[in-house]
Every structure is written in structure tokens, then in C-alpha cells.
Amino acid sequence: MSGLLKYIICFFLASVLVAGCKKDKLITDSSAKLEFSLDTVVFDTVFTTIGSTTHQLKVYNRNSETILISSIRVAGGSGSPFRINVDGLPGSTFTEIEIAGKDSLYIFIEVTINPTSGFLPFIVKDSIVFETNGNIQDVDLVVWGQDAHFFNGSIICDMTWVNDKPYVIYNSILVDSGCTLTIEPGVKVYSHTNSAIYVYGTLVVNGGNSEHVVFQGDRTESYFDDVTGQWLGIFLLRGSTNNFFDHTDIRNAFYGISVGSSTSSDLGTFTFANAPDVLIRRSIISNMLYTGIFGFLSFITVENTLVYNCGQHVAHLAFGGVYNFNHVTMASYSNSIVNHSEAILELGNFAETSQGHYSADINATFTNCIIDGSLDDELVYDDDEIAAFDFQFDNCMLKTKKSASDSNYTFVILNKNPIYILSSEFNFHISSNSPARDAGVATTVLDDIEENPRAGFPDIGAYEYIP
């Protein structure tokens, strides 16, 4: 073999070896980010013993050049119930993972959890954290932590919830038009952050005196017992009819019961014909970030009910409607939970949007009610003098600077302390020397919030005094 030929062969072999060892160019620009097949991996299987299941996540490199992931890790580390498998290797932390240009990577996620362990929260969360070119991205991991009925963004029709185990709502639920959700005594409903119960059809809540139905957030630790704004609330939308709440506790939401809103922003479509209606009786609504009972051109009847600790109004009855409150205690005082800075009760017969001014008649009657708080005036009236503005207070205790001397006020008690047993501990039973005792007027409401009988001249408020 000639020297020249040997040189050519050697050069060719060297070139092949060099080419075989050459690495693809890495993209290091911080604008180059990963994309994911899911932003949240939800394990929605309801386990009964030891739960174990697997889901997959696909990680995409949409760039034309190779990208280097500095680290992939489970945020909770080795103590997390979640485990991941990257490129066939199990673990909780991985480093220096490459994805070629226009390619992808599979990550398999497992979770092992005992959902019957009572100390676990209803929803257990963690995340997979990715660090790439200085960017931090994550994908949430969610698994049900206790044995319960779980609803994840569900549309419900003609269903009955019985008291066999808790009900947990994730990403809200909707009771569809023409459908009824019935909830039986003793049921407990836990809603995750930013979740709500929306009703186009009918919601019937049949709580019992010793078996209240409870709606609250899904954080069950004692620290969260009185924290406001943990979930969105219950929304009875336009066209919803025959809604009913009895012996119901609604806690720690943005709104307790909101009646009359719509997915449409055109207030011209809001009429008495499509106004929703609800009867609320023998119930407790507490610790709302905004409003306990919100009415917006709707029909609301409330009997023997306690509403307290709301960041804005205890009851806001706006843009008209027909409202009847009988033996209702409404109270708010600033404390470590809420800053009471707005009137307990606001009545209005109009609403304004960027599209214009809209009016609707309001007719509101309050009988045997306590409206008391730490402000000098706990009543606000918004009357545009276009639509009817009719209201009446009969045999009520009112905290107000208004004169209350005209025919809208009959046998009212102004600016006196109701003398509760211990309002600082949220005990709103009246004491033996309360001015609310025997100061009411007899109506068709024959018992109190706890089903104690009302005889003769009833006490004002939700509670009848029992020696």
C-alpha cells in the first residue's frame, strides 16, 4: 500500500471517529423552555386499601437544538408519596438530562397512599420541578388522600348524596338545567381552592337538627377552622328554581349563597321571569371573605338562620328582587378572622356596568331580625329613585344611625346590645337579660334554629332563649 493511500485511509478513519464522538449543539438561551403534555397530573382513582397507580407525563423540546435539563425532581423529595421514573430509572431527583431537538421525554409517575388514613388531607399535592437554562418550571401532582366521593369538574344531573363518606369537589361542579342534586342529612362536602357549586337546576339540602349538612374547604386541620376564602361558594344561577337549604352549615368561602348571577354580562337579560329562588332555614353561614347571602334580582326567603363574620356584607340584596327574612341573626365584629368595615346589610334597586344603568324593583321585609355589629351604622340603602324601593323592618333590633321613625320601621329596637352568651366565641344564643327576649311578633315560624318551640311573644333573632 502506498504511503498516500495509507494517509487517506487513516484520515478517513480519524474523521469517522471524530464525527461519531461529536455532540449535538446545546441551546442555552433562557427563552428556551420545556412544554408538557399536562400542567397537572391528577390521580382520580378512589382507593379503598393501599392505592397504587401510574400516570405518564410527556416533556417536549420544541426547539431545533438539544436542550439540557439541569435537574428534574419531586419537590417533596424522598418523603413524598409520589415517585417518578425518568429514562427507565426510578428515583426522586435526576440531573443532566438531555432532550434532542424536536424530541420528547417520557416521565412515569407513581403514587402509593393509604386513603383511609384519617390524618391525611382529602387532597394530597406535590409537584415535579424542572430547571433548564436558569428557568424553573413545574407540573402539579394531585391525589385523593382519603376515601371519599370525588368530583372533578363534573356536570351533575338527578343525583342524591347520602351520608356514607365525604364528598370532595375539585375544579367545581355544575348542577345542570332541569336536574336536581339532593343532599341527605349528615353529608359533609369539602371544596378545593377556587372550586364552587354552580346550579342551573335545583339544589335540595335536607339537613337534620342533629345531622347538619356541612359545606367547607378541604383543609381539615384545626388551623383552617375559621379561615375565610378557602373555596368560592354556592352559586344559584339565573333560571335555577326550588332551591332549599335546611339545617345547613356553610363555612369559609368567598360567598356563602349567591343567588342570581349569570354567565352573561348583559344585565338587560336579567328579569324577574328568570330570577332564581331559594328557601334557607335553620342554617348557619359563617366566615365569608365577601358576603354571606348575596341576592341579585332574585327571590330569597330566610328563616331561623345565623349569618356572621363576613368581610364585606352579611347580606347584600342588590339590583332588585323579593326578599323575606324572619328570625335571622346577622352579626359581624372585627376580629383576627375578618376586618368588619362595611355595613352588615345593603339594599339596592339598581346596577351599573360599562353598558349602562339598570334598575329593578326591590321589596324586602325583615321580621324579628337582629342586625348588629361594630360599626355605627349597619344599614346601607342604594335607591336610584327610578325603580320601586320598598322595605320594612318589623320587631327587629337594628344598629343604625338612621332615625327609623317612618312607617318602614315598626316596633324596632335601636342601638341596644343584644347580649349574646359569648359572641367572641361565636355563641349567638341570647342571654336571659337580652332585650331581644319576648320582643318579637308571632308569625308562621313556630320553632327556632335548633327546633326549640316559639310560644306567645317569640324572641327576636335565630335563637329562642332556653333557661
* Residues 197, 261: Cα–Cα separation, whole Å: 13
Give the whole-angstrom CA distance, residue 34 versus residue 131: 10
Give the list of residues 6+ apart from residue 73 with CB closer than 8 angstroms, or none. Answer: 92, 93, 94, 128, 129
Neighbours of 163 (CB within 10 A): 15
C-alpha torsion angle, residues 319, 324, 326, 329 (rounded to 10): -10
Rounded CA-CA distance 446/455 in Å is 7
**Pairwise CA distance, residues 26 & 101, whole Å:** 9
DSSP 119: T
pLDDT given at position 53:
67
CB-CB neighbours of 201 under 10 Å: 22
Tell me the whole-structure pTM to 2 decimals: 0.82
The predicted pLDDT at position 16 comes to 41
pLDDT tens string 84-134 = 999 889 999 999 999 999 999 999 998 887 666 666 778 889 999 999 999
How far is the C-alpha of 79 from the C-alpha of 90, rounded, in Å?
14
Write out residues in the chain with pLDDT < 70, as ranges.
1-24, 44-53, 114-119
Place of cell 324593583: 361
CA–CA dist 155, 201 (Å, integer): 11
**Tens-place pLDDT, residues 381-435:** 999 999 999 999 999 999 999 999 899 999 999 999 999 998 888 999 999 999 9
Residue for cell digits 419531586? 74
Task: Output DSSP code: residue 231.
Answer: B
Look-up of cell digits 387532597: 123
Q: Are 240 and 263 in contact (CB under 8 A)?
A: no
Q: What is the CATH code for 149-430?
A: 2.160.20
Looking at residue 44, what is its pLDDT?
Answer: 64
The Cα-based distances of 269 to 75, 266, 274, 356, 433 in angstroms read 48, 6, 9, 13, 50
Strands 379-382 and 397-398: unpaired
Grid cell, residue 188, equals 359533609
Give the CATH number of domain 27-144; options: 3.20.20.70, 2.60.40.10, 3.90.120.10, 3.50.50.60.
2.60.40.10
User: Which is nearest to 172 in space by CA: 156, 153, 146?
Assistant: 153
Domain regions of the chain by residue span:
27-144, 149-430
* End-to-end Cα, the chain, rounded Å: 119
State the burial class of residue 435 (Cβ atoms within 10 Å of its Cβ: 0-12, 13-18, 19+).
middle
Please tell me the predicted confidence (pLDDT) of residue 87: 85
φ, ψ of residue 330 to 5 degrees: the values are: -120, 120
Cell numbers standing for residue 239: 333560571
CA angle 100, 104, 110 (to 5 degrees): 135
* pLDDT reported for residue 148: 86
Strands 389-394 and 362-367 turn out to be parallel
Cell of 399: 344598629
User: How many CB atoms within 10 Å of residue 124?
Assistant: 20
Helices (H), 75-149: none
